[in-house]
Amino acid sequence: MNWKTTATAMGLALLASTGLARADGVLNIYNWGNYTSPDVIKKFEAKYNVKVTITDYDSNDTALAKVRQGGTGFDIAVPSQTYVPIWIKEGLIQETDPGKMENFKNVAPEWANPDFDPGRKYSVPWAWGTIGVVVNTDAYKGPADSWGIIFNTPDELKGKVNVVPEMGDVMFAAIKYVGGQQCTDDKAVLKKVRDLLVAAKPNWIAMEYNTIEKMGAGDFKATSDWNGSALRQRLANPAIHYNYPKEGFGLWSDNVVVLKEAKNVENAKLFQNFIMDPENAAGLSAFHRYANAITGSDKYMPADMKDAPEVIIPAADKPRGELQQMCSPETQEIYTKIWTELQK
């Protein structure tokens, strides 16, 4: 075994040194952790003779704070749709006009002209997904297509439910459950939301991100979660099912943008164009397990994703999906107070 690792290490070192020697340029990507397909990156490096580096971040706020300080050396970042307008407003990213790029014709119509970047002047879709409810059907066999699993937990699941602690997502779900609109500042609705959350919490076991492992091991029997995470859980345990809540569910999308301080703007543009190619988009999806917004990528998708209910929203559920927005700072402040009250 030992000679094998040594050989691999030596091979890698060799590969790295030669790659460095012949690369025409570099591209520095700043992206969420465990999100970038190494295969697609290798293909990009080979095609354009560019050496790519990838640095991880763990939240939109981290990425925003770091890039705002400047001097990061990154060319590309991948903020979520709620944050893209902030990046634009704060002058952190540049207009690369992806809407005019060669491969833009592949972008699915519903993602070609989004509210967060009208006319796609800055951003290229990387991945999109939904936030719903995951239930282990060995523990609970009843209807699960509702946020009620989280907020009005059935007896079988009491003390076994996890909630992913994304404030925006939880507030969105709770507001939908009491019948309000996202980003509402209606005090009557928010009071209901607060009471709902506070009353629901004793039935939760945890508020954690690490759902794939914990659902798999059985520490949790249900959780709120992202669809790609739910897909991985089902592949590990077929009894685990993803549900689109009937009260309405959130849609999100992460987008590739080019920083204003980028030093390798041309390579960054090449990359934006490159990932709008159906085969490459499918390659990204095969790794991060989320849908891409590229038409024609389905035929290159891995078999276990082609008709996965987590990735392809059933036609009946589709109308209830709603792209999540960034709430105003004043509303956000109220949400933070409710959130603190919930976790106190």
Partner 1 sequence: MATAEEVAKAAERRDVRDRWLLSAPALLVIFLAATGPLLIVLVYSFLTPGSYGDVKWQFSPEAWVSVFLERDIFDDTLSIAAAHVTIFLRSIKLSVVTTIATLVLGFPTAYFMATRSEKTRDLWLFLITIPFWTNLLIRTFAVLQIIRNEGIVNTMLLKLGIISAPIQILYTDTAILIGMAYVYLPLMVLPIYASMEKLDFRLVEAGYDLYASRFQVLRRIIFPLVKPGVIAGSILVFIPALGAYVTPSVLGGGKNMMLSNLIELQFGQGRNWPLGSALSIAVMIIVMVALLAYVRNAGKSGVRHG
- With a CB cutoff of 8 Å and minimum separation 6, the contacts of 319 are none
3 state SS of 211: helix
- Take residue 78 and report the two structure tokens written for it: 């991948």
Shortest approach of partner 1 to residue 196 CB, angstroms? Answer: 14
Half-sphere exposure of residue 93: CA atoms within 13 angstroms, side-chain side: 29
Q: How far apart are CA 28 and CA 262, in angstroms?
A: 9
Q: How far apart are CA 32 and CA 35, in angstroms?
A: 6
Per rule CB under 8 A, is residue 152 in the interface with partner 1? no
Q: What's phi and psi for 268, nearest 5 deg?
A: -65, -40
Shortest approach of partner 1 to residue 59 CB, angstroms? Answer: 6
- Binders of partner 1 among residues 175 to 194 (CB under 8 A) are 187, 190-191
DSSP 203: G
Per rule CB under 8 A, is residue 65 in the interface with partner 1? yes
The one among 201, 246, 260, 320 contacting partner 1 by CB under 8 A: 201
Shortest approach of partner 1 to residue 3 CB, angstroms? Answer: 28
Q: Select from 166, 159, 109 the least CA-distant residue to 139.
A: 159
Q: Which residues pair with 251 in a beta bridge?
A: 130, 323
Sole window of 18-26, 37-45, 204-212, 286-294 interacting with partner 1 (rule: CB under 8 A): 204-212
Shortest approach of partner 1 to residue 328 CB, angstroms? Answer: 9
Per rule CB under 8 A, is residue 205 in the interface with partner 1? yes
Per rule CB under 8 A, is residue 68 in the interface with partner 1? yes
Shortest approach of partner 1 to residue 237 CB, angstroms? Answer: 13
Residues binding partner 1 (CB under 8 A): 59, 61-62, 64-65, 68, 86, 90, 159, 162, 165-168, 187, 190-191, 201, 204-208, 217-219, 329, 332-334, 336-341, 343-344
